[in-house]
Each structure stands twice: as C-alpha cells, then as structure tokens.
Structure 1
Amino acid sequence: MVKFSSILGAAAAMGIAGAATIAYGVSELNKFQLKTYELPLLQTGTLRGKDAFTILHVSDLHMIPGQDTKIAWVSALDALDPDLVINTGDNLSDERAVPDVLRALGPLLNRPGAFVFGTNDYWAPQMVNPFKYLTGSKREPSYVDLPWKGMRAAFIEHGWQDATHKRIEFQTSGVRLALAGVDDPHHDFDDYSLVAGAPNEDADLSIALLHAPYRRTLDQFETDGYQLALAGHTHGGQICLPGERAIVTNADIDRERASGLHRYGSMWLEVTNGLGTSKFAPVRIFCRPSATLIRVTESK
C-alpha cells in the first residue's frame, strides 16, 4: 500500500510546481516583444526609392488602470515611425481603462490608422473556468457594457478610421491602400456581405481586418483577392508549449497559425500574440505579449 506520507509529499510537490508555473506566467506579462516580418507585396516602383512601407499591428491590449509598463512600451512604438497603424481590437479589460488606452496609443493616434473591435471592447470580462478554455469551448459573454463608444469617438477624432463592415481607400506615404474589415467573428458579429467583393484593382496594397481569425471570414477575404489579413484574439495561445506552440486558439484557425505570419491560400495572414490578457487570467506561458511590425517591400 502507498503510504499516506508519500501521497502528501506528491501533493505538496504538485502544489509547488503549480505555484511556480503560475508565478512564471505572471512574470511574463510585461516582457513585451516586437516581432518583425518582411513581405514583398508591392509592385516595383511603388515605394519611389523608399526601403519599405511599414505597418504596425497592435491588438488585445486588454487594458486595466495602472498598467504603466504596458502604456510606456506601447507609446514608445511610435519611434518606429510606422506608415500605418492597425488595431484589431480587445483594447479594454475594465470599464475605467479608456484613458489608459488613449495614453498608450496616444502618439500612434496621430499617424494614419484603422481599427476593428473585438467582443471585449463591447463587454467586460468575467471569471471563467480555465478548463473550459483549454477544451476550446466558446464562453458566454458577460453582457456588461464597456465604454467603447467613447473610445471609438476618440480614435476617430484623432484620425483613425473605423473599418468595421466598411471598405476604406486612402493613400499614405505614397501607397494606395484598400482596406476592408468586419466585426468580431468570435461571437458571429461579422457580416461579410457588407464588404464583399474584390478590392479596388488600382490599390497598391489590400488589407483585411478582423479581430478573431475564423476560417469562414478568412476564406471570403482570400477568395476576394486580399493580399494580407491581420487578426488578434488568440493571444498566440496564451498558455503554450515551449517555442510558442499553441495548445488551443480560441477560434477555428489551426494551432500552427495561432500566431505569426503564414500563408492562407493565396493570401498572407498575420496573427499577433497581442499585448494583454483578461484581468481574470493574468498569465502567459511560453507566449510573451507582442506587437508586430510588417515591412512591406517591392517584389523582386
């Protein structure tokens, strides 16, 4: 028979290991990273001698008041001098967090930008069973309203464009852009019929925006001929195996494309790890928070 003392010893060891894992996961929350990729998508001569057209992609801030380290790190991204800023949602994790979101994004709001929102911009987070997350089950929202309308108004006042269910065309840094976005597919808010169709053939670069990378929406963007899709939501898996190997995606995208830059048929797809977590799940394991800088160059 197994001795009772052996059982207690094993339980204690498991408890210590669990506590150490959680402590490690919490310690990773402020170890922000910038991921950089290069994509040769532009026709020769588009850049007129410039090296690249740069896109800064930020997502999933999940801001709560007092996250000064995150605010400082995100604000400092302005030094990258991006030509375009894209925000794919889930900026909030607290009803009082809008001022801190605006502090973090402040310098970037003065640059050309576009955004779509995620469910956690609209509704507050809530306590969830972590095992339900790990099984891939979709969680019911809290339906507690967040002040997203004021945040949206501030974004627009500064010059960012709301791409939610819109097709947007403009030129910046000499590059003609065709953007289209949908509302969050995670809770079926997306209505692709509102943006359906090929992007303007006169555009130099076409970009699709969505918060959660669901295949039904990505398939439609890819079929219509968009060159690049940008998404967040997955947190890169948040709790991963070594090497940022996602266990779950919280969407129906495959785990191999839960973060990073990958082909999606004829389109490129970049899914960012995001910069925060729900305040009820403040842990990251083998999956540090990040933003992305995409250098779009001329094709050889």
Structure 2
Amino acid sequence: MSSALGRAALTTFGVVGAVGVGTAVWGMGVERYLYTVRHHEVRILPAGSAPLRILHLSDIHMAPWQRRKQRWLAGLADELHPDLVVNTGDNLGHAEGLTGVRAALDPLRGIPGVYVHGSNDHDAPLPRNPLRYFSGPSTSIPRPDRLDVGALDDYLQSTLGWHELNNAAASLAVGGHAIAAFGVSDAHRHWDRLDVLPPLVDDLKAQSPELTIGVSHAPYRRVLDSFTGLGADMIFAGHTHGGQVRMPGFGALVANCDIPLDQARGLSTWTNDGRSVPLNVSAGVGHSIYAPVRFACRPEVSLITLTAVDADSGSGGAR
C-alpha cells in the first residue's frame, strides 16, 4: 500500500510540475506576445452626435529591443482609425525606451491625444519579488535610475501634438466634438493633486463641452471618486496590468492599488455619491523587463467607440 501511495504522490508531483512548467512557458514565451484590441461601445454622447473612436493606450513599458511590440502598435493607426488617443502612462521601460516608443507611436502623429505619466515614465524598473504584490500596493524603491521624462514629454507634445494632463486640464476639438479633458499624475506615487482640478474643470465647463473625460494612470478610489464628482462623463486608467497573471474563472489576483479586483481590467461602471460613469481600465501592452510574463491576461489596447444616447429615452450605457 505504501508503495502505491508513493507512486501516486510522485505522479501527482509530476503532473503539478508539468503544469507549472507549461504555464510558465505559455506566459513567458507565448501569451505576452498575443497583442489584442478590445472593442467597446459606450452610449454617452448627446443625441444626434457622430460617433467618436478613442484608442486607449497604457503601460507600454517599452524597451528598445521589443520590435514585435513596436510593429504591432505602429499598425494600429491604419487598422483602427482613431479620432482621439488617450494614453494613461508608463510608456517607458528602459533608459533607451524612447527609441522604441517613437517607432511604435509615430504613425499616430496628427491624431489628437491626451496623456498622463506613470512612475515608470520617470524611473527605470528595478527587480522586485513578485510575491510582495500580494501584501498590498507596491512601494517605491530608493534611488532608482532616472529616465529622461523631459524627452518623452517633448516627443508626445511637440511631435505627436498631444496634451499633457498631469494635474492639468485641456480643451480639444476632435472631429466636430468639443471635448474637455482633465487628469492627474501617478496616484500610486502620490503625485496626484486633486485639489488643483476643481477650478480648472470649472473653466472647461464654462465652454459647454460635449464630452468631459478624466484620465489617470493608477485607478485609486480617491481619484475615481473625485473624477466622478467633478463631472467626468468617462474615466480612463491603466497601471494594474489587469493583474498580469489572472486565474481562469476568478480573474485578477492583485491590482497594485485599491480598486476592486473585478474592476482591475476592462470596461465597468464607477459609482460615487449617486452618480455613475463608465470606467475603462486597460490591462496595458507591456510589462516590466524583470517580470516578462502574462497569463490569462493578454497585452491589450482598447478601442472605445462613443455613440449618441437614444434620442427617445435620453439614456445611454456601455456594452
């Protein structure tokens, strides 16, 4: 009997080991290259408005050798024909990452856009123990290598023509739509200055925009609550990587912030003080060069088509 139990135990350990190896091979060697476009339609524009196509980019974490990712991103302009680009930060993943960012995003030149920073636009990634994420949102590591965020800003603003929304606001005219946009810098590093936004948003509202959007890198509850209270019609965020490693049938195990895990990826609704708005949290395109894995969480961008509410009911929604 003991011999049979021993053989069963060895078989079990062998199966578990094989599954673990297979999972690692899939996550590191296959899935992290399965770039995906997630399509959503949200009915929030005034009745009679023309559709507005928004390309939501996030967490590119670019390193110069990531040519496959660069080529895929570079093809999105011709494939998706966006009217507006919303970039929720962490574009850089290496000291020379801007070279790859240029190759990836140059085809979007001339398409209106807005962006905010993530901490990895300022600081190079460092090795971390991934188990630490299960104890709560990660903390900053002293003396990281600084990245040239000024060069990134110059490229995004001067070359692509995008508006910076780090604790700032901007008005845009996009395909006949008057858009008000506001945002904050990385709330994960407590760089958000929510206190500066109310007068900026009031100035934007005085222009009677057709659409108001809020943009944040990290979807912390304090940010989402504030954006909802300030009158955002839709909110965009990234940072979570969708969990990066998800359990089939369960979802994200961690979000690296305080957003509910079931809202760590994709389109959902955020409600605060009786007001509800659509929220899109992108799982992002990349990963840290020190954690090159995706499992049950493909790298992604979102194409969100905003359409008009039903003229008869005056109601809208997401789908």
- Cα 1:46–1:153 shift into 2, 3 Å: same
**Kept in 2: contact 1:211–1:233 (CA 8 A):** yes
Check if 1:41 corresponds to 2:44: yes
CA contact (8 A) 1:236 1:244 kept: no
Given the alignment, which residue of 31, 36, 42 partners 2:34?
31
CA contact 1:244–1:286 (8 Å) conserved in 2: no
Is the 1:258–1:271 Cα contact (8 Å) retained in structure 2?
Answer: yes
Aligned: 1:160 with 2:166? no
Residue 316 of structure 2 corresponds to which residue in structure 1? none
Q: Secondary structure at the match of 2:49?
A: coil
2:146 partner letter: D
Which shows bigger deviation, 233-242 or 138-147?
Answer: 138-147
Give SS of 1:110's match: coil
Q: For 1:241 and 1:205, locate their aligned partners in 2 and report how far apart those are by CA, in whole Å.
A: 36
1:236 is aligned with what amino acid?
G
Is the contact made by 1:90 and 1:119 (CA closer than 8 Å) also made in structure 2? yes
When the two structures are superposed, what TM-score results if normalisation uses the length of structure 1? 0.93
Amino acid at match of 1:161: H
Query: In structure 1, what is the equivalent of residue 253 of structure 2?
Result: 247
Matched, 1:278 2:281: no
Secondary structure of 1:195's match? helix
Q: Which moved more, 1:165-174 or 1:136-145?
A: 136-145
Cα offset for 1:140?
2.2
Q: Aligned letter for 2:109?
A: L
How far, CA to CA, are the matches of 1:212 and 1:293 in structure 2? 19
- The alpha-carbon deviation at position 68 of structure 1 amounts to 1.3
CA offsets 1:197-235 (integer angstroms, 9 cap, x no match): 455161001000000000001101101111101000101
- Partners of 2:33 and 2:77 in 1: CA distance: 18
| Distance in 2 of aligned mates of 1:126 and 1:234 | 17
| Counterpart among 184, 193, 196 of residue 194 in structure 1 | 196
How many aligned residue pairs are there?
296
Equivalent residue for 2:313? none
Provide the rounded CA distance (Å) in 2 between the counterparts of 1:187 and 1:296.
31
Quick one: which amino acid aligns to residue 258 of structure 1?
A
Distance 2:177 2:251 in 1: 35
Instruction: Assess if the C-alpha contact under 8 Å between 1:235 and 1:273 holds in 2.
Output: yes
Q: Distance in 2 between matches of 1:134 and 1:157?
A: 40
Residue type matched to 2:22 in 1?
Answer: A
Identify the residue that residue 169 of structure 1 maps to in structure 2.
171
2:303 counterpart of 1:293: yes
Matching residue's letter, 1:43: P
Partner of 1:61: 60
Partner of 1:93: 93
Whether 2:25 is the aligned partner of 1:17: answer no
How far did 1:245 drift?
A: 1.0
CA distance in 1, matches of 2:255, 2:294: 14
Instruction: Please give the root-mean-square deviation of Cα atoms over the aligned residues, in Å.
Output: 1.9
Unpaired runs of at least 5, structure 2: 311-319
Q: In structure 2, what is the Cα distance between the partners aligned to 1:194 and 1:20?
A: 49
Which has the larger displacement, 5-14 or 221-230?
A: 5-14
d(CA) in 2 for partners of 1:211, 1:2: 56
**TM-score by structure 2 length?**
0.88
Deviations 1:161-198 (A, max 9, x none): 11111110121100000000100001111011121245
1:78 aligns with 2:61: no
1:256 has 2:262 as partner:
yes
Measured at CA, do residues 195 and 9 of structure 1 come closer, stay the same or move farther in structure 2, by a change above 3 Å? same
Instruction: Assess if the C-alpha contact under 8 Å between 2:93 and 2:288 holds in 1.
Output: yes
Structure 2 Cα separation of the partners of residues 189 and 152 of structure 1: 17
